[in-house]
Amino acid sequence: MNGPEVSGIHHIQFLVTDLAESLAWFSTVFGARYQPEFDHHDADNRRYAVIMRMPGLAFPVQLRESTTMAPVIAGYEPVTFGVTDRAALERWATHLDECGVRHSGIKKARIGEAVDFTSPDGTRLRLYTLPVRGYDDTEFVE
């Protein structure tokens, strides 16, 4: 490598049409904890973004309101969350059922198994089993 390295992920961001609705959904589904001290406000003091901490992630998650862009990217999958194994996926599928979130059920994926579902704005989210031996020792299945 010739250039500098990235040190990690600072935060991830989801575009949403309704901050309150999405904040409630992420809190219910992911156990996200809202951090109001990091609210983002525009020049008119209108809140346009919030920060949450999600269990299992070492970095924050931002919800950013965009009534124009969020509908345009509905169906897009900006991030895939890793889970340890099939048993974790089974627990997630049960949890999603309990939350009333429609999902794909556990399905075979290229290097493991996955469950797909969508946020209230139609953002596609995926839970994917992490490779047991890491990515370098994993073969992709077509």
For 89-114, the pLDDT digits (tens) are 999 999 999 999 999 999 998 888 99
In this structure, the answer to whether residues 79 and 62 fall within a common structural domain is no
Contact 96, 49 (CB under 8 A): no
In this structure, the answer to whether residues 77 and 136 fall within a common structural domain is yes
In this structure, the answer to whether residues 84 and 44 fall within a common structural domain is no
Which domain, by its residues, includes 26?
A: 1-71
In this structure, the answer to whether residues 3 and 48 fall within a common structural domain is yes
The CATH number of residue 18's host domain is 3.10.180.10
Question: Could you tell me which residues are beta bridge partners of residue 52?
Answer: 34, 61
Tell me the whole-structure pTM to 2 decimals.
0.88
pLDDT tens sequence across 36-89: 999 999 999 999 999 999 999 999 999 999 999 999 999 899 999 999 999 999
In this structure, the answer to whether residues 36 and 84 fall within a common structural domain is no
In this structure, the answer to whether residues 5 and 39 fall within a common structural domain is yes
Q: The tokens 């959904």 sit on which residue?
A: 25
